[in-house]
Structure 1
Amino acid sequence: MQTRKGQSIEDESMEIIEREVGSHPYNKMEWPIVRRIIHATADFDFAGENKIVFHKDAITSGINALKNGCSIIADVNGVIGGLNKQNPKDFGNNLICNISDPDLAERAKQENKTRAQMSMRIAASEMNGGILVIGNAPTALLEVIKMIREGVTKPALVIGIPVGFVSAAESKEELQTVDVPFITNTGRKGGSSCAASIVNALFKLLREN
């Protein structure tokens, strides 16, 4: 739980963001999410038009899934570490990250996949109606897209915001062609802190609406 001093610092940070950004292209449900990303990264580029891309059903689907106690599946432990743990505790959400599974490397090697890809495959059942949160591995996002197209799984929301130079921007473009709710961004930027901040913002919207 946030201390009074911590809350005052966060409130001041949000006021600075509001003041420095000024007008922006996001609606009243999208903007708290974008603002939370900027707060987590101190990167005002995310406020630009079409920098954060929302599927029309993304926020509603994500909030409803969280409210109903869906699983939250992350590509790396850094995403889990960035979540406010009180939220999943209050709503009964199971946090899943398989990247450190001791058997994962061998299974990935056998199937000629990366560990990130394999970690998505073994979480297929938990993904149904769940929220996928990918902040680090473009291969994980591409694998999820493939799984959705195969009919293996159907998440309530895919948060795909991996950072990097190899396939990061391309995986986000590909996500926008899939018929599932998504939140993503354009370009190479992203990361675990961005991904976690989106989930935290969705929980905050859930509590406020």
Structure 2
Amino acid sequence: MSFKDVIWQPQEIERESMRQVAEFLLPLNLTPGEKAVVGRIIHTSGDPDLGAQVRFHPQAVVKGLEALQAGVDIYTDVTMLQAGINSRRLAELGGQVHCAVHSLEVVEEARERGITRSAVAMERFGNRLNGQVVAIGNAPTALFALMRMIKEGLQPALVVGMPVGFVGAAHSKELLSQMDVPNITLLGTRGGSPLAAATINALLYYK
């Protein structure tokens, strides 16, 4: 084993990582804002192939940036995603992150109805989601519940839909990509809270 080529300096590691990520972005037809999002997704996942699977509504980046700069809140499906979003930066803009999956009322209702807590939490947020950013990184059921509310008239500023898994995840994201609501999604079974958080953080720091 040889250690002679190891890069130890944090700044140099960051520079070299972003240089390689930039090369993976070259074949993709993306706007600068979309490149910032996809770059963070690739950097977070270590998987260059994900870049071609990210889908953007035409107004996703513009509307998302407008909303965040205006100080809106972010609503998430799970606490892991809530923890991954840079709450300090969001607070500087005037917003905060919400997650209700562990609320006693949500837990009890989910048990009574026999559905996921994430879906119940999303339903309970209800009209509070109008004009806000919604990020889903784990539960397809939360995304299905959100899309049903959108069809009934709810209007979030941006939906980041990246649930992960083999039951409902791919289908939920395919449906989201076809909706006329600003959204960013990752097609297929891959996804997860780290990638949804990376997407939000890319927008929070975009200039």
Question: What TM-score comes out, normalization by structure 2 length?
Answer: 0.90
Shift of 1:119: 0.7
Q: Which runs of 5+ in 2 are unaligned?
A: 1-8
Q: State the AA in 2 paired with 1:36.
A: R
2:80 maps to 78
Q: How does 1:46-125 map to 2 (within 5 A)?
A: 46-48=50-52, 51-125=53-127
Q: State the AA in 2 paired with 1:24.
A: L
CA distance in 2, matches of 1:120, 1:78: 16
Mapped contact 2:77–2:138 kept (Cα < 8 A): yes
Q: How does 1:51-200 map to 2 (within 5 A)?
A: 51-151=53-153, 153-200=154-201
CA distance in 2, matches of 1:203, 1:94: 12
Mapped contact 1:105–1:115 kept (Cα < 8 A): yes
CA distance in 2, matches of 1:129, 1:6: 38
- C-alpha change, 1:126 and 1:173, in structure 2 (3 Å) is same
Shift of 1:150: 1.4
What is the total number of aligned residue pairs between the two structures? 199
Q: Structure 1, residues 121-171: CA drift from partner, whole Å, max 9, x if none? A: 1111321100110010000000000011112x2100000011100010000
Question: What TM-score comes out, normalization by structure 1 length?
Answer: 0.89
When the two chains are superposed, the root-mean-square deviation of aligned CA atoms in Å is: 1.6
| 1:42 correspondence with 2:43 | no
Mapped contact 2:25–2:35 kept (Cα < 8 A): no
Q: Which runs of 5+ in 1 are unaligned?
A: none
* Bigger Rg over Cα: 2
Structure 1 residue ranges, 4+ long, deviating more than 6 angstroms after superposition: none
2:205 maps to 204
Shift of 1:81: 1.4
